[in-house]
Structure formats: C-alpha cells, structure tokens
Structure 1
C-alpha cells in the first residue's frame, strides 16, 4: 500500500476547469504533496507533472521543467508491478503548499483507449486497469490504499541505482589519456541476462536516465520474443525523445527508425540472419544516428550533438546464445554493460565494477553485475505467451502508433485497407517462411495468407512471380510494421484486406509482405468480444450470424483442429553448444 494519507487542503487538493493551466489536456486533476518518507502507488492510466522538487518512479527520476510544465504519461496495469512515486528532494508554479521540504506534483487523467483492452477483449487480463474511476474521482486513476485490491509494487534494487548513476558519472581513472577518452565517449549500454531477470525494466530505466542529459536516445531491440516497442519478431532501431513510464511493452508501440523482420521467437533457428540484422542496425546507428548533423541538432537544454544507445538483448544466455551475445558486444563496442547474475545475491555486497580488458574497444568498458528484479507472483500468473497475445492485440487496435487505441469494435468489424498483390499492385511479392510453408503451391497462396499475421516490407525493386518460398535477407529490406490479412479476394488480381495501425504514408511504402507461422493471430482476436458469455466461452449461435461449423480458421469445440498441438523442438538432435 501507499505510505501517504491524503488530507484535503494540506497535502492534497482537487482542481478542475479554470484552475488548471492551459497546457493540460484534462478537465480534472489533483495536486499531491509528498514528504521525504512518503510514497504513493497509482494503478491505471494517468499523467504526472512535477511542480516542486523531483519525483521518482520505475527507476526513473522526473524533474520540474524550468520554463513550462512537462507532462509525463504513465501506464500502470496490475498485470505488471505498479509504479510507486517517491519524492526526490533536491519554483512552485501554482502557489500550493510552498513547504520547500516536500515534493509537489500534479496527477491528471490520461484516457487513451487502452483502458478498454481488458478481459472482454483479452481473456485473462480482467480488470487490469482497476475500473472506471478511482477514489479521487479521476477517470482511470486509482490510488493504492490499505483498502485497495492487493497489487505488487515495482522496486529498484540498489545495484540498479548504482549502475544507472554510472551513466552520468565518469569513473575514477589514473591515466589522463583514459580520462579524456571517457569524457568524449558516447554512452552505449548493453543490458544482458537470463529470461525474467528484469532486463527490459532496467533497459527502460537506462533509456530514461540518459534522456535526462540527452535530447534523444536510440534503442536497439535484439529480443525477438518480446519486443519493447512492437509485437516481436524484429531486430530494430528506435529513436526516443521522451521517457517511457510503463511496465508492459503493449502500452507503448512505436514506429521504428528501421526494423528488420525475422519472424521468429528466438534467434535459434536463424543465427546468421539474426546477426546480419544486428550488424545492419548497429551500422545505421554508428554512421547516421550517433553523431547527427548540425542541421538536425536543434536547441535544447539537453545535449543534442550526440545520441546514446541502449541495447536490449534476448534472454538466451547459454551455448549458442552466449556466442551471439559476445558478437553483439564486439559489434556495438559498449561503454557500459549491465549484466544480470544467474542467481540472486546479497544486495549488501554492492555492485561489482570492472573497467576495460573484456572487449576489443578503443575506450574502457564498465561492466556492472546487477541483481535480478525481485520475484513476483505475476510471473506465474502471466506467461511470455500471454504477454505476446496482449501485445499483438494492442498493436492491431492501436491508432497510428501515437499512443491512442480504438477498441470500440472487434477486429473483424473494423474497416480494412484494400491492397492489390502481384503485377500492377502496390505489393509486388509475398514470402512464406517457417513450418509448413514449403508445401504451399501458388494456387494455395490466398488460403495461406487469409487470416494471417504478416510483416510489411519496403524492399528494393522486385521482379518475377508474386509468390516466393523463403524470405528476402532481413538486412536487404525494411520492416515497416505488422498487419492482419483479414480477408483475400481473388478475381483478376489478388486483393488483400489489411488491418494495420500504420499511417497511410507509411503503408504506401510497402512493396512486399512476409508470413512466418511462428506468429499467428491469437484466438481472442477472431472473436466478437461484445457477445459476452457468463463464466467465459463463446455463444452457441456462432460468430457474427455465422454458425460455428461455417466459421473459417476457428474451431469452437477446441479439439481435433489442425495445428492445435503444441510445438516442440527436438533439442536432442542439436549439438551440445547450440542447446
């Protein structure tokens, strides 16, 4: 629970209408004043505006702006550890509670549409946003109190704090030449460790920490199974200019600077293509992003002359996975490595720091050994597959990847884009890869694409047939985003009905698509969630007026369906160093 008891007019006040500054987009807000030993947890979707002193949450510190109010959106569903706001005592803009020993901030509503992405739309994620209105009367804002439903709080291990502080504090060195190198180096942070250790949380904290000093920070996604800014299967480079204050990735899909599609949950089936994509992304960063031209630097209180990089890696840390990790480190030449320990240790031991000598690099590398995030029952409640389901649905319901969602109607009732595939069409070629693709003949292509998740590619000039087995090398094409092929019409030419959050200008750049069976539309995306059945399940009448036996791609009985078996990998057929 929170260690904060609101008292109207003393440490808490409601504002509405004319009392709110024009910069705020909400009609209602509250002002909160936190003392040095008070904390406040909030569930839901909201925005924070620091007014006096700094506040910290999700391993990130937010500072009051010097000239204007800075608004920070926060997404805090109960399926992830909830952020706990604490003061960071270091110009009170509204003249409220001028006690200099307290941190003062504004909490306002932030309705984006994602709050409708709940158990009706995604089974198993019931009430993750905690309802319509909380105790303060704000829509989607639910302060955690002693009487609230129990939630799990986000905590920052001390070793994380020490590692993050190193990003803005140069280490002590004996050699003057090393000191000069450290002063000029651009931060490149690699975060690595086993699955469910907290890699993504620490990588986001590193991103936010760097954004305190730099106007923009690049993010290199190397985790195919759970991408931070998309539904996965990608190696990509994103450019961020604002902190990411959210636990689950499904709350902040973004359009990449460049992404390459592999369509796998792990680099295990495609290590060569994986490293080719990683090398292409690192080269793009080093040659075009790290040192932007003066014309693009702009004016900011933060540094604009360089762009740091944060690399989020996959959780495969043994055998071939370890070799891939070493290759990423050599290619990226990191200044900092945050390495999670395989087993938790006593936090009182502090962080272990090494300088140089581990990587072939022109500058010293600081290697920090950090403790795993505290274990939470949420890890048992929600699996990686569950999070991929909600990530795919969040992506498909997103509006333009700009932080808005429309869940007013199910996917099959949304208006699609109609795109022609083949000669004379916008899409020149379709690639099929993965299990079962080798048996698809050209005449069966419409059936293979119908109802599937595909990646839209911007590829060079494509000549030849509209269908090809196997994919284009990932580094030779740019993945613009994902789409659902909702229907296929075939007359003189093949027309695809696509659902995608990509804006029209981006969609117009697509020249090819690729389908990999590793990623499929979740069953929840096929149903009409408006027809609720008490206790779960599906209505007996069918779907959208069609009887179940006539509904394609879906077996309501749940038995005997083709492809329903769980996929298994025969690890005993692999070499020992590949397991």
Structure 2
C-alpha cells in the first residue's frame, strides 16, 4: 500500500477493539430522553439526576440515581474476588453491589455520596476519598469502622490492590446501631484532594493510576469527584480480599488477650508481607482507640512509610488505608536510619546495627512512657542463605511472642525458632494462593514492578508538603505539589565552609573518591541528611574531622591546615575508605537521619551546596542551633530521571532542535540535532547476567 501525502495507512481493527470502540461511542451518545445513564462505561461519563426519593426523607439537593440496567444481576453479584483477566472481552465483576433507587444517593449540595449495603455485598472504589459510617459497621483493609469511628481517608490507586468495602462480620462485642430498614451498613463517601492525582505531570508512567480502564462499568457522582465506584470490567483491576486463613490469624493476633505482643513477619518476595502487616495493624488500631502499634519496618527495598534505603520505627494510632508513597498519614516517625542500599546484602553488619538501634528505641520508649504498644516487625523477602542468617539475628534481637510465616517457610521456622522457643507460630497462606493482594494491577496495561514503585515513592517524597490537619481519624493529610517541576523549585543553599557553615561533612559509602572529584561524585545524586552531636568526642565523624581539619579557634568554624576549605574549595570530606564499614563511619547508635535531599549543584566560589529536600530550612537550622553537625551521605539510592528532567519542556526542546532553534538546556542531559541524546547515561544500561553455555556448566 502506498501512502499519499494527505492520508495514512490504518491498521485493521480486531473484533475486541471494534467492540470497545462501540462501547466508548455508546457511552458518549445521549439516551432517548437526552441524558446519560447513571451507570456508565468509563469514569468520564456525565451523570444526570432523576426524580427525588418518594418518601421525602431527603432534601431537594439530594439527587437519586436510576437503578442499574445491564448485565449484572443479584445472582451474579455474589463473588467477592474479581476474576482474572482473559482474552475474552466479557465483563468481569469487580463489585457485587447492585445499584437501586434506594441504596445509592448523591447529594449535589454537599457533594456527598451515600451507599447502603446488605450483608454479603461489597464495593470497590478507586481514587481518593473520605469514608464515614452512618449506621452499622463496615470493614476495609482489615479495619472495622462503625458510627462511633471518625472519618477515614482512603487513597486507592491501581498501583496497589484496591480496598474492598464490605459489611463487618457480626460480633457480640460490637454494638451495632439499629438497622436502616433492610440494610446492614450505611456509609457516605466524599472527595479527597491530596495532590497525588497530579503525579502524572512529573512522570507519565503513573498518569492513569487514578482512572479505571475506559471499558469499565462504573457509578459516577459529581464531575469533580476524586473517586469512582467500579462495577465490572473486561480487564478488572486487582481488588484486595482477605482470605479466611488471614482473617483467623489476624483475629487471633489482634485480640486484647496477651497484650502487649511482639509479632515478627517472615515470608519470601511477593508473599504479601506488607499487605498482611497493614491489615493486622488496621485490625489492632480500629479495635480500640487506645490501642497503639509500634511498626518496625526492616525492608529497605519496599518500605511502608519512608523512601527506599531507610529502616524506620513508626507509631501507628489509626488504620492505614493508603499506599506507601502517600506518606505517613496516620503515623508518627520515632526514629529512622539510612542504610544506603535497597537490600541488606551490601552491608549486612550495618543493617543489623540499625535494626538493633530501632529495637532499643522501642524498648526505651515503652519504659519511659509506660505505653503498652504492640510491636509489629516487617522484614524483607530475603529468606535464603545470608538472608536467613540475618532473620535469625533479628529474631534474637526482637524476642517475638508470635512469628507469622507467609507461604512455604517451614524450613525457615525450623532454623529461626529452636525447639525450646516459646514464640507461637502462625502459617497463613501466601498472597498468591488465596489473597488477591499485591503491588501490581491485573490490568495488563499497567503492570508495576518493585522498581517502578520505588521510583514512585521517591518522586512523591521529594514533592511532598508539610502535613496539615485533615479532620480525619488517620492523622494529618500529607499534601503534594506536582504543579512545579523540581528544576523550577528554588533550592536550599547550605554553606560548607566559613563561619556560617551548615554542612560539616560529606561522604560516599563504600567508594573511594579522590578529594578533587568529590563534587563530581555527589552532584545530581540523592544524599541522606544525618545528624551527629558536636560535643560527642568519641563519634568517628567528629574524630575524623578533628584530625583531618583542625579547628582554628580564632576563626569560628573555619578549618586550618593543608586541607582547609578556603584553599581547596571542597567540603570537609570524610573518606569512607578510611573505615572498615559503614558501622565504623556512621554508627547507628549515635546518628540520626532526618531525611533525604538531592544535591542539585555546588557553588564553589561561595562555598555552598544546593539542596532540594522536603526538610525545611527552619528545621535544619534548628538542629544546628541545638548543637548537631550535619553530614551528607551518598549511598546507592536510585535517582529517577523524572526528578531532574521535565519531560514536558523536554518534548518542546526536542521539537525546537529539530527545527534548528536553540532550546533551553535540560540539566544533566545533552541533546543533538535530531533529538538524539548522547553521552553517558543517554541510553538504557543493560546488564548482562552470568549466562553460561551448556559446555561451561559443571
């Protein structure tokens, strides 16, 4: 086929593509009365109000949606787990909720949607929303909410399994309000705006995580709603359902009998450790307002609250219904350590010392404040070889009362728990066998790997804003600003030389760097902001700085000697090659990590570094005034290219260069005529594994 100048060859449509095209056109065409249906394929359909409720119990502002008409019947709406996607284009059920003129009401005045559920019905909602229980009790992600519970903020993108809202099981201990007629639970949902929905402006990879597939049958409320109720779809997103083995284990561990407990979670990769831990935490915190959970996160590759490469101890007082990149909405950070790696295999000694320090912090806090908090320890998925040895050391430190093993971990238990151990063993099934859980979407167009989620978590961290009061039970709302790219944000200027210096040391972990190449090694990288007490003469950092840069008592904080800053123009450099390991350089016991920063650039004439960090200027200065020294430490933290490259302006620049115009330079990237990027890092780095030929095998 020859292509003419004003026409292009079009590929033939498959039967599936043609059917989807007809569905999209049908969704945008008006009905016979000139209005769109209340239940529509796709979240973008415009809902139209129908008549008011006949009994007059609602105000004129309350608008009722017409009953659902389509393929879903009550008999078909009994499954709680969506079917796996297949090549068949028939819709798969997501929610078994059937909309009627009574169980779904949208109030245009308050922009609030009310749902009424019978026992056995479930609803899956994607997006950001605030849920409040009016009568009865519901369960979501292991948390049980009733009319006495405060509102709960939910953040549910398709990067994680979407939470399922159901009627809570009957319990003799829970007093349930009088039923609303034939319904067991009534709750309302309102829109929630955290700014996370704009993350696609920074990284287009995550542009559609807040919207369901176009062919999804949904219930839509107002045009400005930040959430969508999903009914069915040919390619349904994954919904979180808790299997019976999880439910029984969680009920046992969340019981108030035998408190306080120390619960140790073990499992291989993708076994559902984080999901199980979150459901367990929600069950404990929603059981009683006074119940507190000390959450010890020892997974640096996929942490629950912090950016990657960090181990942390948090205090949780209310349910967690948000992904890890949404920030610690209902938690208080007690202490954290930057390990510099996404796995403990690079520096297992320092990993154990950081974990031991967090254990000591938990015990000291419990003794100091007399809190009876349940300790939950979430570990990484390395359970073989050295990973099993690390687990054994962690068990000795933790001395757990209960150990939970997800999946096939019988052999692990045999080594971790000797015959005389008093710890109770729990063996629920792994996520892949019965729990629809995980970090990927079943929609074939949006598979997210652990590396993708680490990138998303890092991007969200550096675009986060200070917390504000949200009025919900799960703490202050963590806001995010994706309106400006980091390259347009004024950096924090921190001096590293002279009397007013703020940065007292800079090091690169596990790498020998010549002093004259220090800034080259750390420029455009992620560094940890560590604090060391200046009066701690025994700290290795203070001893090293005193020996390498003797203080001139007559010139404030300036250094004298052959390495003084005004002569060579570099910050006080701490060579990691002079220490045996990270533990010898930055001991966890006497070092605090307050956050991460991107070292954007260096002004050697003024002796300043440019930092992009959520840590505020006032906070950093306050630590210095308290007598702490700031040490920047570069590890192996992954730097997403989206943080240093505005792809929207980059597209414009490439078009300008194709036309021969001079475009604005993009930091750390070089373009040539034609739009091709050259230089180191211009192309994807493909690592060849140790693949051996058959003749080389022994």
| Range class of TM-score, shorter chain | 0.7 to 0.9
Looking at structure 1, the residues matched to 399 and 367 of structure 2 have their Cα atoms a distance apart, in angstroms, of 16
Secondary structure at 1:236's aligned position in 2? Answer: strand
Once the two structures are superposed, the pairs formed by residues 73-222 of structure 1 within 5 Å of their partners are 73-90=153-170, 98-99=180-181, 101-118=183-200, 120-130=201-211, 135-137=220-222, 138-146=224-232, 150-169=236-255, 183=258, 185-211=259-285, 212-213=287-288, 214-222=290-298
Report if the CA contact (8 A) 1:531-1:539 is conserved. Answer: no
Looking at structure 1, the residues matched to 162 and 220 of structure 2 have their Cα atoms a distance apart, in angstroms, of 17
Cα deviation, residue 229, structure 1: 0.7
Report if the CA contact (8 A) 2:156-2:162 is conserved. Answer: yes
Counterpart residue number, 1:15: 107
Report if the CA contact (8 A) 1:428-1:512 is conserved. Answer: yes
Residue 266 of structure 1 pairs with residue 343 of structure 2: yes
Instruction: Output the TM-score relative to the length of structure 1.
Output: 0.80
Looking at structure 2, the residues matched to 319 and 275 of structure 1 have their Cα atoms a distance apart, in angstroms, of 16
Report if the CA contact (8 A) 1:292-1:306 is conserved. Answer: no
Give CA-to-partner distance per residue, 1:498-536, whole Å, 9 cap, x none.
2222244543327324343521321111222444859xx
Name the stretch that deviates more: 214-223 or 314-323: 214-223
Once the two structures are superposed, the pairs formed by residues 310-325 of structure 1 within 5 Å of their partners are 310-325=376-391
Looking at structure 2, the residues matched to 474 and 571 of structure 1 have their Cα atoms a distance apart, in angstroms, of 39
Looking at structure 1, the residues matched to 115 and 493 of structure 2 have their Cα atoms a distance apart, in angstroms, of 50
Looking at structure 1, the residues matched to 239 and 98 of structure 2 have their Cα atoms a distance apart, in angstroms, of 18
Cα deviation, residue 444, structure 1: 2.7
Looking at structure 1, the residues matched to 677 and 381 of structure 2 have their Cα atoms a distance apart, in angstroms, of 32
Counterpart residue number, 1:404: 479
Secondary structure at 1:267's aligned position in 2? Answer: coil
Cα deviation, residue 418, structure 1: 1.6
Instruction: Output the TM-score relative to the length of structure 2.
Output: 0.67
Report if the CA contact (8 A) 1:52-1:105 is conserved. Answer: yes
Counterpart residue number, 2:354: 277
Structure 2 unaligned blocks of 5 or more: 1-93, 468-476, 535-541, 550-571, 577-584, 693-698
Counterpart residue number, 1:299: none
Secondary structure at 2:632's aligned position in 1? Answer: strand
Cα deviation, residue 443, structure 1: 2.8
Please identify the structure whose Cα radius of gyration is greater: 2
Counterpart residue number, 2:426: 368
Secondary structure at 2:391's aligned position in 1? Answer: helix
Looking at structure 2, the residues matched to 88 and 553 of structure 1 have their Cα atoms a distance apart, in angstroms, of 53
Cα deviation, residue 486, structure 1: 2.1
Structure 1 unaligned blocks of 5 or more: 18-26, 171-181, 295-304, 345-352, 573-579
Give CA-to-partner distance per residue, 1:293-339, whole Å, 9 cap, x none.
36xxxxxxxxxx41111111011100110011111111111122111
Give CA-to-partner distance per residue, 1:411-458, whole Å, 9 cap, x none.
111122221124531221111114xx31x3223333333211111111
Name the stretch that deviates more: 557-566 or 253-262: 557-566
Looking at structure 1, the residues matched to 654 and 140 of structure 2 have their Cα atoms a distance apart, in angstroms, of 40
Residue 341 of structure 1 pairs with residue 407 of structure 2: yes
Secondary structure at 2:503's aligned position in 1? Answer: coil
Give CA-to-partner distance per residue, 1:267-298, whole Å, 9 cap, x none.
1111111111111100110121x34536xxxx
| Inter-CA distance 498–325: structure 2 relative to 1 (3 Å threshold) | same
Residue 554 of structure 1 pairs with residue 669 of structure 2: yes
The number of residue pairs the alignment matches comes to 512
CA RMSD of aligned residues (A): 3.3
Looking at structure 2, the residues matched to 318 and 422 of structure 1 have their Cα atoms a distance apart, in angstroms, of 47
Query: Which among 432, 438, 456 is matched to residue 529 of structure 2?
Result: 456
Counterpart residue number, 1:174: none
Cα deviation, residue 146, structure 1: 2.6
Looking at structure 2, the residues matched to 441 and 558 of structure 1 have their Cα atoms a distance apart, in angstroms, of 29
Cα deviation, residue 124, structure 1: 2.3
Secondary structure at 1:83's aligned position in 2? Answer: strand
Report if the CA contact (8 A) 1:451-1:486 is conserved. Answer: yes
